[in-house]
Structure 1
Amino acid sequence: MKIRAFLCIALLGLLVACGTGREAIPIGTPVAPDFRDANPVDFKGQRPAQYPVHGIDAARFQTSIDWSQARRNGVNFAFLKATEGGDLLDPAFTTHWRGAGKAGVARGAYHFYYFCTSPEVQAQWFIRNVPRSKGMMPPVLDMEWNPLSPTCAHRRPAANVVQDEMRRWLRIIEAHYGQRPIIYTTPQFYAENNLSGFNGYEYWLRTTAKSPGEAFPGERWQFWQYSATGLIDGIKGEVDLNAFSGTRAQWTTWLAARAHK
């Protein structure tokens, strides 16, 4: 029994009884990722494997998630799609939000921004649908061009307009949740809107073909979305994979500082 207990602690890095392996893992306790990738990339420079804390993002496309199993397989955090524009709610948000929270997965909600609706309307729509939950990660503003929208696909304002609308949304959300939001973006959107000078916010960067250092030269990041083809036991189909930028200890410290009190 002593050997068994020792192995459990060494392999998982957490104080969980080893009898059934089904006990809830406390939120913020890091578990090493047991992920696969249907289309792995040989990144140059920075590599996902050098970061010990990983997670996912999920939306309606993830139709079935056993959150407890996913947590045991190293899903330490999950960014969950909540809203789009001023009137769209992701139909899976509530289910994912409750499931992740119950399983001890650090969870945060994100908003997909539309340029055909005012930032004030969009911020209020997000607030209406995302509860202020104890322990939640900061809200996320997802900034990328949307070529699939039937109404907003061709709306691409100038960079100064984009940044002004971002700041207006961010201020409202920070005031409501008491957390400075995180910004998610892509290399194209980042470059075309001069976001290298948009200071004061943490970044969650999407780059699945190049490392962050190559795709976003000189930019600091907190989360890196490095794959859209992840495979994790407990999750049906492929899922986006993400890495946290620091060590296990830094993850625990960051979450304690940034989680909703």
Structure 2
Amino acid sequence: MGLSRRLFVTGAALSLAGCGAPRGQQAELMRPAMLAASNYRADGIPARFGDTDPHGWDGLTPASLPVHGIDAARYQGEIDWHRARGAGVSFAWLKATEGGDHSDPGFRVNAARARGAGVPVGAYHFYYFCRSPEEQARWYIRNVPKRAGDLPPVLDIEWNHTSPSCRRRPSASEVRAEMRRFLAIVSEHYGTRPVIYTTVDFWRDNGLEQFSGYEFWLRSVAGHPMERYPGAQWSFWQYSGTGVVPGVPGTVDMNAFAGSPGAWEGWLSRRAQRG
């Protein structure tokens, strides 16, 4: 998500950080080339997908879990959701907002098409430490309509080392307090508690093992979450930022649900928005 590495081919290969467009501006969708998953097969990754920079998985691998999905932003351009669903994409979260004044133009395009293809879709907010949580929650609500069947909201909270405009790093107690303020507003509006996405260093630095009452989506591209987040309870695992998925241009973040297909259907019935 925020800092994941992605490959785009626009005549030449470029590596871009997913840190969003300049604030207050609507960036155009990217137009990366479509890659063939068959050219990027990787051990430990489900055979229907690929990875341009795979980890040497052993032990518990992403392929050991049956339910997989993606998260994406404008960097992926326009996704062929029917093809992605046919390849085994069971869910998707799309970047919708960042801070208090940036919205991602890919959200409205791809969210509607995902719904049309029968892929459960939701929206994530990338947290900016130089805006109040109240302002950011209001901005998210303004840009993400409440829709029956959509996935719960996601708070993407991580250190943004590349931000040119915000170097603030609150204390762990301040971080947890800001999270609770943002999450309370969003929970009340959508009638369901958001999922929290975070990274290994942010989890460790801010004592998020103390943060209860919410489901976690954990980034761990160099080991199973049980290795990188000892004792953590999690519902989703982001295992690659360089995945190749049919129907998705360029590369994309790949994720797995922590359960069986039956457990996934049960989770959806409990956690999907009611509208």
TM-score band, normalised by shorter chain: 0.7 to 0.9
Deviation at 1:33, TM superposition (A): 7.1
Verify: 1:86 aligned to 2:86, yes or no.
no
**1:53 aligned to which of 54, 67, 87:** 67
User: Larger C-alpha radius of gyration, 1 or 2?
Assistant: 1
Give the SS at the match of 1:241: strand
Moved over 4 A (4+): none
Distance 1:204 1:106 in 2: 16
Alignment gaps of 5+ in structure 2: 1-45
**1:66 aligned to which of 75, 80, 85:** 80
Distance 2:234 2:191 in 1: 21
In the alignment, is the contact (CA less than 8 A) between 1:60 and 1:93 conserved in 2? yes
Distance 1:144 1:48 in 2: 22
**Which residue in the other structure is 2:232 paired with?**
219
**Which residue in the other structure is 1:76 paired with?**
90
In the alignment, is the contact (CA less than 8 A) between 1:138 and 1:181 conserved in 2? yes
Cα distance change on mapping 1:63 and 1:242 into 2, 3 Å: same
Per-residue CA distance 1:31-81 (angstroms, 9 max, x = gap) = x87211222223344211111000000001101311111111111100100
Deviation at 1:180, TM superposition (A): 0.6
Distance 1:43 1:170 in 2: 34
Distance 1:38 1:99 in 2: 26
Distance 2:242 2:130 in 1: 31
**Which residue in the other structure is 2:175 paired with?**
162
Deviation at 1:140, TM superposition (A): 0.4
In the alignment, is the contact (CA less than 8 A) between 2:152 and 2:272 conserved in 1? yes
Give the SS at the match of 1:92: helix
**2:159 aligned to which of 145, 149, 157:** 145
**C-alpha RMSD over aligned residues:** 1.1
Distance 2:134 2:60 in 1: 37
Distance 1:159 1:211 in 2: 25
In the alignment, is the contact (CA less than 8 A) between 1:33 and 1:74 conserved in 2? no
Per-residue CA distance 1:127-163 (angstroms, 9 max, x = gap) = 00001111011100001011222221x2100000000
Give the SS at the match of 2:262: helix
TM-score by length of 1: 0.86
The aligned amino acid for 2:184 is R
**Paired-residue identity, %:** 56
Equivalenced residue count is 229
The aligned amino acid for 2:230 is P
Distance 1:229 1:139 in 2: 24
Give the SS at the match of 2:84: helix
Distance 1:133 1:241 in 2: 24
In the alignment, is the contact (CA less than 8 A) between 1:85 and 1:113 conserved in 2? yes
Residues 231-242 of structure 1 mapped to structure 2, 5 A cutoff: 231-242=244-255
Per-residue CA distance 1:80-116 (angstroms, 9 max, x = gap) = 0000000000121100111111111111110000110
Distance 2:224 2:104 in 1: 29
Verify: 1:198 aligned to 2:211, yes or no.
yes
Distance 1:143 1:64 in 2: 25
The aligned amino acid for 2:272 is A
Give the SS at the match of 1:76: strand
Per-residue CA distance 1:167-201 (angstroms, 9 max, x = gap) = 00000000000011100000000000000110111
Distance 1:233 1:197 in 2: 38
TM-score by length of 2: 0.81
The aligned amino acid for 1:72 is G
Distance 2:258 2:87 in 1: 19
Distance 1:169 1:227 in 2: 27
Give the SS at the match of 2:66: coil
